[in-house]
Structure 1
Amino acid sequence: MSNLSQLLKESWVLVEERHDDVAAHFYARMFLTDPGLRQLFPVHLDTQRRCLVEALVTAAASIDDPERFTEYVQGLGRAHRKFHVQPSQFAAFHGALLEALRTVGGDRWTIEYDQAWADALGLLTSNMITGLEQDADPAFWHAEVLAHERRGADIAVLTCQPLQHPLRYQAGQYVSVEVPRYQPRLWRTYSIANAPRPDDTVEFHVRAVGAGWVSSALVRRVRPGDLLRIAAPMGTMVLDRESPRDIVCLAGGVGFAPIKALVDELTRFNRSRWVHVYLGARHRDELYDLDELLRLAATYPWLNVVPCCTDDPSWTGEHGEVSEVLARYGPWHEHDFFVSGSAPMVRASLRTLAELEIPADRIRYDSFGDI
């Protein structure tokens, strides 16, 4: 671990339990410094605060891996194009975030910590600006909803047609989505549930839970003919076609979406790699796309599907969390892993894979909240 990485880790411990205060102070200071920035963000900043903290933690954790750091942070820059952020406005971001960390850190915040974050934020903002300026794609795509299918009370499958320009992406990636008719300026991330198609249509699987404004609108209010906005694709949970290893996919709930896209991609070229999909939910009715997955398994001999439920006494298949069910099988030491679902599901799966001594470089994952 480099000295910079060590200082970032040590100093983050000082503010980690008050990360909400860091985010609140940051936005207050940034909007005071550059009032014009406020109009780029939604009225409610709860999700933006959470995303800020996640981005800081992810970027700091990867700073010793230049390739991973650059890929992630330049992706953040591209993602910010949808907010119409200009390169000159990153100065306010840099200064406000450093002041927020310094303020919340209090008396224990040292000069060394301050300089470490100044250096890290310099790298962060320069790479974000590079990503923002070098992306030749549109800031976002308008997409028409062609089909909207309810799969139970809280889940919908949407098929959308990007307009004007094709959406270039890889199976397993995700995009930010805005519903301008119902929730303008609120963007939420959703995985694309299919590999690229000749007609350029994309499919989203959405669950509406709690006070999720965007997810509720997508599930309960959006209809065919409505327009969405879709931002640039992100994420690295994509297939390595050069790998000879068999594949294991762990999916929870609508986290199945990117796994379905990966399976879709594999149907187009795979001949030699076994693919095991472990699909978890609480109840059978939450396994909303199981019939389609079983149809694929009947068509492609290399695909094995293991559905499981945690809270359904009538379920006759495997019982338990998806990671618990995985651990009953194996061995898994010569496989590539893909994990997608809620943050708790992903954390539990990563712990299980660590206990099974799966090398970290063979695991790719994405976690999403229900928002």
Structure 2
Amino acid sequence: MISSEVLSGECSVKRHPSGRRERRARSAQQRGSQNGAGQGAERRVTLGTDHPHAEGRHGGPPAPGTERQPEPPPRAANALPEPLSPAECDVVRSSLALLEPQAADLAVYFYAILFVRYPGVRDLFPQDMDVQRDRLLRALLRIVDLVDSPEHLARFCSRLGRDHRKFGTLTEHYAAVGECLLQTLARYAGPAWTPETAQAWQRAYQIASEAMILAANDDTRLRPAVWEARVVGHRHLGNALAEITVATNPAYPYQAGQYVSMETPWRPRVWRHYSPANAPRADSTLTFHVRHVSGGHVSHALVYRARVGDVVRLGPPEGDMLLSAASAQDLVFAAGGTGLAPVRALIEQLAAEQRPPERRVHLFVGARTGNELYGFNDMLRMAQRHHWLSVRAAVSHEDIPGAQGFLPEVIAASGPWEHAEAFVSGPPGMIAATRQALLRCGMAAFRIHHDPLGVPVLDAPLEPVHQAQEEDYRI
């Protein structure tokens, strides 16, 4: 898993038209025969955790000659609001299309009025707001992309809600954000912000915020929001790379292959993602391989400033690149750069099994030069101890006999892989190229596992990828 410092500048969200059509079909029965009743009137819908008032739900007494419709039964305290109607979904999407050209100015204005009206929330955000503005836009885009799929929208917003716990977000903050967000949208939409548009966006925000709040409340009962981790080991590996070992109390609950968000004392409220390079240990320590990225303040601090005794904070573990997701097929591991960390953890887990694995495991490690093949000798020694593991290097920018070539090409030439299963970790471009190479070799898409290519909480798949869903997640 590459550090998210490399990815934070990306500002687009991949749209999948075919996946959207499938989601609309799957959610049509859930919506039933909703016809957008009440649209065109000034329906009062509150923000955050508040619910519509029974007396004022439709904005006053019924017009002469009409009868007030009976109120629906109150929903359970832990139930989400009714999903948007198809007409409301169309209104939200069409209005966002008008707003997208003004997205950068919109984000600046939103945070400006949020901090003026509610200065107490400023402390929840980092000093440098550029990345945070990007996150807002990406989250809005994905919520709008999912408004016609209540199930997927709930999963996405639940993930957001759990993730926001580490920032110190409280229930009352959602109403403040909703108020300022809707005023911002109205300002930049101009004449296009009709009563129907306002109502649709109010409902969309209510659904999203309540899903986040419910998920956060449930998560509070299960685990801490953050774990304090003390640095107990720090070793420079060369090429701007450091091996950092931390210990937590209580033990940090993760599985090999997952990644972790980390906050350092030198850049408060700035979180970056790194993968433990080890399977869970009895002493509850975790080892991270961190490379200093040009312009990366967090990675620079971890590599060059951190010392034994310093304390960092870890958010909950994330990611589905787990061995439990694999079948009994032979395994192909592809690692580029610090992407070796989660792959190494997965191989450690295989080696720790009570009986030797019956399947063969093929590890390919890619780098530009031989000096950048960090950890390769350790993996060779592991292969000498375990007959089921083979290790091969792929060096792209240096002439090394037996190891020359780009990683995807070397993997493809070592096939066939149509009956194998793959785990790929490294820079986004390397993951995309390796995935395409494996597909051309006949490997089924649902057998290729990798972490999200962007900000994990915003870009992670919302359900396991199966062969029939390949088009939804094609890179």
2:370 matches 1:284? yes
Distance in 1 (alpha carbons) for counterparts of 2:388 and 2:194: 56
Paired letter, 2:384? A
**Correspondence 1:73-92 to 2 at 5 A:** 73-92=157-176
Distance in 2 (alpha carbons) for counterparts of 1:223 and 1:203: 14
**1:35-80, CA deviations, whole angstroms, 9 ceiling, x for partnerless residues?**
2111111110223233344445556666777766555543332221
Alignment match, 1:347: 432
Asked if the contact 1:284–1:315 (Cα under 8 Å) also holds between the matched residues in 2, the reply is no
TM-score calculated relative to the size of structure 2:
0.68
* Deviation of 1:107 (Å): 7.4
Paired letter, 1:92? A
Paired letter, 2:446? D
Provide closer, same or farther for how the CA distance between residues 144 and 356 of structure 1 changes in structure 2, counting only shifts above 3 A: same
TM-score calculated relative to the size of structure 1:
0.85
Asked if the contact 1:309–1:315 (Cα under 8 Å) also holds between the matched residues in 2, the reply is no
* Deviation of 1:223 (Å): 0.9
Provide closer, same or farther for how the CA distance between residues 299 and 351 of structure 1 changes in structure 2, counting only shifts above 3 A: same
* Deviation of 1:30 (Å): 3.2
Q: Secondary structure at the match of 1:236?
A: coil
Alignment match, 2:291: 207
Asked if the contact 1:183–1:214 (Cα under 8 Å) also holds between the matched residues in 2, the reply is yes
Alignment match, 2:241: 155
Provide closer, same or farther for how the CA distance between residues 95 and 259 of structure 1 changes in structure 2, counting only shifts above 3 A: farther
* Deviation of 1:295 (Å): 1.5
Alignment match, 1:172: 257
Alignment match, 2:43: none
Provide closer, same or farther for how the CA distance between residues 112 and 330 of structure 1 changes in structure 2, counting only shifts above 3 A: farther
2:396 matches 1:305? no
* Deviation of 1:311 (Å): 1.3
* Deviation of 1:330 (Å): 2.1
Distance in 2 (alpha carbons) for counterparts of 1:169 and 1:268: 16
**1:159-195, CA deviations, whole angstroms, 9 ceiling, x for partnerless residues?**
10013x1111111111111111x22222211112211
Q: Secondary structure at the match of 1:172?
A: coil
Alignment match, 1:197: 281
2:415 matches 1:330? yes
Q: Secondary structure at the match of 1:24?
A: helix
* Deviation of 1:289 (Å): 1.0
Distance in 2 (alpha carbons) for counterparts of 1:350 and 1:293: 23
Distance in 2 (alpha carbons) for counterparts of 1:18 and 1:333: 46
Asked if the contact 2:326–2:447 (Cα under 8 Å) also holds between the matched residues in 1, the reply is no
In the alignment, structure 1 segments of 5+ residues that lack a partner are none
**Correspondence 1:1-371 to 2 at 5 A:** 1=21, 2=24, 19-56=103-140, 70-97=154-181, 120-135=204-219, 136-163=222-249, 165-180=250-265, 182-240=266-324, 243-269=327-353, 271-314=357-400, 316-320=402-406, 322-356=407-441, 358-367=443-452
Q: Which has the higher strand share?
A: 1
Distance in 2 (alpha carbons) for counterparts of 1:5 and 1:59: 11
* Deviation of 1:316 (Å): 4.3
Asked if the contact 1:157–1:204 (Cα under 8 Å) also holds between the matched residues in 2, the reply is yes
Provide closer, same or farther for how the CA distance between residues 271 and 227 of structure 1 changes in structure 2, counting only shifts above 3 A: same
Provide closer, same or farther for how the CA distance between residues 358 and 199 of structure 1 changes in structure 2, counting only shifts above 3 A: same
Distance in 2 (alpha carbons) for counterparts of 1:23 and 1:217: 29
Paired letter, 2:423? F
Q: Secondary structure at the match of 1:176?
A: strand
Distance in 1 (alpha carbons) for counterparts of 2:383 and 2:91: 49
* Deviation of 1:19 (Å): 4.9
Provide closer, same or farther for how the CA distance between residues 25 and 239 of structure 1 changes in structure 2, counting only shifts above 3 A: farther
Distance in 2 (alpha carbons) for counterparts of 1:249 and 1:8: 42
Q: Secondary structure at the match of 2:324?
A: coil
**1:190-223, CA deviations, whole angstroms, 9 ceiling, x for partnerless residues?**
1122111111101111111111111000000001
Figure out how many residues of one structure are paired with residues of the other and give that number: 367
Provide closer, same or farther for how the CA distance between residues 15 and 198 of structure 1 changes in structure 2, counting only shifts above 3 A: farther
RMSD: 3.2
In the alignment, structure 2 segments of 5+ residues that lack a partner are 1-20, 25-85, 456-475
Asked if the contact 1:339–1:365 (Cα under 8 Å) also holds between the matched residues in 2, the reply is yes
* Deviation of 1:20 (Å): 4.0
Provide closer, same or farther for how the CA distance between residues 292 and 64 of structure 1 changes in structure 2, counting only shifts above 3 A: farther
Provide closer, same or farther for how the CA distance between residues 242 and 189 of structure 1 changes in structure 2, counting only shifts above 3 A: closer
Provide closer, same or farther for how the CA distance between residues 60 and 297 of structure 1 changes in structure 2, counting only shifts above 3 A: farther
Asked if the contact 2:415–2:441 (Cα under 8 Å) also holds between the matched residues in 1, the reply is no
Paired letter, 1:137? R
Provide closer, same or farther for how the CA distance between residues 125 and 238 of structure 1 changes in structure 2, counting only shifts above 3 A: farther
Paired letter, 1:327? A
**Structure 1, 265-274 or 188-197: larger mean CA deviation:** 265-274
